[in-house]
Structure 1
């Protein structure tokens, strides 16, 4: 069974050499698609921005929760009695 035309495993339209390594062959079609790719960087940036937003929201919620419990900022990482009080 032959792979479909235009797929990654189909025979390339033309062969060109990699400029940085002349012993490596590149398919002209694959190289053109790689250079024309504008979607992947946008997806990567979106994922990084989304992760940053989630991190900032989590830190904000942790700070808000600590302040509601009456824990001062210098007591967050020490064994403070205020941190062990049950919520009311």
Structure 2
């Protein structure tokens, strides 16, 4: 069973079909450019992606977060944090 767009093309609307496809592709490209532009500042926070806990974190990932937070003036007890990560892995 042909799709709606293929049916329109076979109905003699090939030019309109091509224009629609070009417009959709342009919209898609514009959306991607927009997302890439506004996601770049968020890369600073990529260090924290392990926090979704989709899998147990590795200590070096947690340690990198402690370092970033320390640079921003947030003091953390890395020994307690290590203990918590170890318990989380269990």
Q: TM-score range by the shorter chain?
A: 0.3 to 0.5
Q: Answer with 1 or 2: which has the greater Rg.
A: 1
- What TM-score, normalized to structure 1? 0.39
Could you say which structure has the higher strand fraction? 1
TM-score by length of 2: 0.38
Greater fraction of residues in helix: 2
